[in-house]
Structure 1
Amino acid sequence: MPLLRHVQERRGHLVGEEVALVRPYLLAHEHRMHREQSQRERRLQRERRTAAALASMGIDYDIAIAI
């Protein structure tokens, strides 16, 4: 009995570039990069708030030196 046409089409070899699979290590890398970016943004925001609070007391605070 011959194979159905849709089964014959799937029977060929898979080419990695044509398959829409996401590799777990790629997701882990993207997640880590996003987390590091978020941590950097939070740290900069904290430094800006510190600089603003100290400026209200007349104290100069250089964020570039603090980071």
Structure 2
Amino acid sequence: MSTAPLVLCAVGLCTMMIAHVMAAHKTFIIKRKLAKKAKQNRPLPQWARMKTGSKIRYNAKRRHWRRTKLKL
């Protein structure tokens, strides 16, 4: 994996970020980790809400693909 500097400008504010580029040919270990993270990134089942009496309403560990990057 290589890193390339990326400049993002929004509302007159420019910040420098490091963007990680995912390779097209992935190793099996990386692919397995990505598959696990994809399975974990789902909403809470409705039966779990009913079981807890709506004390747990959403998955707190939900991850957006663009906002929060994986540290692989």
Q: Give the shorter-chain TM-score range.
A: 0.3 to 0.5
TM-score (norm 1): 0.34
TM-score (norm 2): 0.32
The structure number with the bigger radius of gyration is 1
When you count helix as a share of all residues, which structure comes out higher?
1
Larger relative contact order (CA 8 Å, sep ≥ 6) = 2
When you count strand as a share of all residues, which structure comes out higher?
2
